[in-house]
A = this chain, B = another copy of it.
Amino acid sequence: MAQPGRPRRTTIADVARHAGVSTTAVSKVLRNAYGVSPAMRERVNAAIKELGYRPHAAARAMRGRTYTIGVVFPDLRNPFFPDILDGIDEQIAGTEYQVVIVRGGASPRTEGRAIDALVDRQVDGLLMVAPLNTRSRLEEVARILPTVVLGPHEKSAAYDSVADDDAAGVELVMAHLIGLGHRRIAHIAHGDIGRARSSTSLQTIRAQTYKRVMREHGLADEIAVATTSYTEEGGYEGTRELLVRDPRPTAIFAGADLAAFGSLAAVHEAGLSVPGDVSVVGYDDTRMAALANISLTSVDQDGLTMGRTVGRLLLERIEGRTTSVQFAVSPALVPRRSTGRAPA
Contacts and interface: CB of A to CB of B under 8 A. Distances in A.
A54 interface: yes
A319 to B, nearest CB: 8
A294 interface: yes
A65 interface: yes
Interface in A146-196: 146
A230 interface: no
A129 to B, nearest CB: 13
Interface string A43-61: 0000000000011111101
A288 B232 contact: yes
A320 B101 CA distance: 27
Interface residues of A, number: 64
A75 B66 contact: no
A121 B57 contact: yes
B320 A294 contact: no
A291 B236 contact: yes
Interface of A: 1, 3-7, 54-59, 61-62, 65-66, 68, 75-77, 79, 81-82, 85, 89, 98-103, 114, 116-117, 119-122, 124, 143-146, 232-233, 236, 261-262, 264-269, 287-288, 291-294, 318-320, 322
Given A100-B101, A262-B291, A267-B293, 9 more contacts: A58-B58, A58-B66, A62-B62, A75-B82, A76-B82, A77-B79, A77-B82, A265-B292, A268-B293
23 contacts: A1-B65, A1-B146, A1-B319, A3-B143, A3-B144, A3-B145, A57-B120, A57-B121, A58-B61, A58-B122, A76-B76, A76-B82, A76-B101, A89-B103, A98-B117, A100-B100, A101-B101, A232-B287, A233-B287, A236-B291, A265-B292, A269-B292, A288-B288
